[in-house]
Amino acid sequence: MEYSALEMMAIAAARVLKNEDVCFVGIGAPSEACNLARLTHAPDITLIYESGTIGTRPAVLPLSIGDPELSETALTTVSVPEMFQYWLQGGRISVGFLGGAQLDRFGNINSSVIGDYQRPKVRLPGGGGAPEIASQCGQTYIVMRQNRRTFVEQVDFITSFGYGRGGDHRQQLGITTLGPTLVVTDLCLLRPEPGTHELIVTSLHQRVTREEVVRNTGWPIRFAPVVEQTQPPTIDELTILRELHARTEQAHTGKALPHVRTD
């Protein structure tokens, strides 16, 4: 069954989530991955969005954290201050799932500006709750497309702190959580190297070469001593993902997307 690189990225990201996780979900690719996990192997995962929705089970992908779909399907909704003070700062969230506009070799994320902060080429939406998620969730996963514009030597602005300059920089600042333990892209999986905390490739997706990863990375990317190959999507994973997108398109535009059926 054929699949796209973006479908592979979403499915690979979903697979790392566990049924017992309490996950702080970002909008976009993180939301896609988290809800796919809920619809497949992790039906009891607790999904939390920044607007205060806890245990939400959306039938379609939300447009934003304020999408009524989240509050309508949530177990409960709390205030934003309670969300951050009690749940996040209280250490009750095991995984934060984030994306961004730029990522560097030490897992720092930029979602604020492209270019100089005072005179930016592009001003982006900003971090929202992402800086707090990156520092106070037990660990963070990052999902984003990989190319030289997004995977850069050094981010133009650190919105969400990863490992800073590498090594023990995170600990020097008094941040006790693990930080970004996994990056999922449309080409590969990356994890921080022990000690240096530089992101290195640990798994290549099907049909992706090392040369392709190097071409699409803005720093001299390195590979783990043993690089695995990501398992391709199953028919069930693809079918459920495509049905999720079809429902979302129907709900938001009134037009259903065609998708491949297995029956």
Encoded tokens for 260: 């491949």
Non-local (6+) Cβ contacts of 1 within 8 A are: 233, 235, 238, 260, 262
Q: How far apart are CA 84 and CA 50, in angstroms?
A: 8
CA angle at residue 49 from 82 to 137, to 5 degrees?
A: 75
Query: How far does the chain reach from its first CA to its final CA, in angstroms?
Result: 13
Encoded tokens for 138: 């037990």
Residue 102 burial (10 A CB sphere; 0-12, 13-18, 19+)? buried
Of 31, 39, 24, 26, the C-alpha closest to 10 is: 31
Q: How far apart are CA 29 and CA 181, in angstroms?
A: 17
Active site residues: 50
Of 22, 26, 9, the C-alpha closest to 139 is: 22
